[in-house]
Structure 1
Amino acid sequence: IARVGGTVEKVDRWGKRRLAYAVKKFTDGFYVLINFEAAPAEIKEIDRVMKINDEVLRHLIVKHEA
C-alpha cells in the first residue's frame, strides 16, 4: 500500500479462522483487516497486486465514508 502512495492507518490481525467454504482446497485462512487511505488510481493498483499474489486467497476493498 505504501509502495503505491497510500497510507496505512490501522492493521488488525484477526488470526487463523475456518473459512465458510473451501477456497482453492483450503479450509482455513488468516484474516487481516487493513484500514488505509489512497487515491482511486492507487486503489486500482493495490487491487491488481492482490489478485496476482498467490498468498492472498480472497480480498475485498470497501470505500468507507467518514
Structure 2
Amino acid sequence: MSTDRRFLTRSMSRAQPGPPVDVTFRAPVEFVRARLPAGLGVPEPSGEHGCRLRVACPDSDMGSRSGRRGG
C-alpha cells in the first residue's frame, strides 16, 4: 500500500464520529442549557419537565469518561 493511501486511510478513520451518547435529564431544558458547556451540544425539550442531549463522542474514550460503562 502506498504511503499516500495509508495516510488517507488513517485520516478517514480518524474523521469518523465516535459512539453516540444519548442523555436524558430530569430538569427543564433552560436549567440544563445554562449549565452545559457550549461545545457539548444543545439539549432539546423532552416532555414537560425534562430534556435530552444527543451527541456523537469525539473519541472512543468519551463514553468511559462520562460514566457510560456497562455493569
TM-score normalised by the shorter chain: which range applies? 0.3 to 0.5
What is the TM-score when the length of structure 1 is the normalising length? Answer: 0.33
Q: Name which one, 1 or 2, has greater alpha-carbon Rg.
A: 2
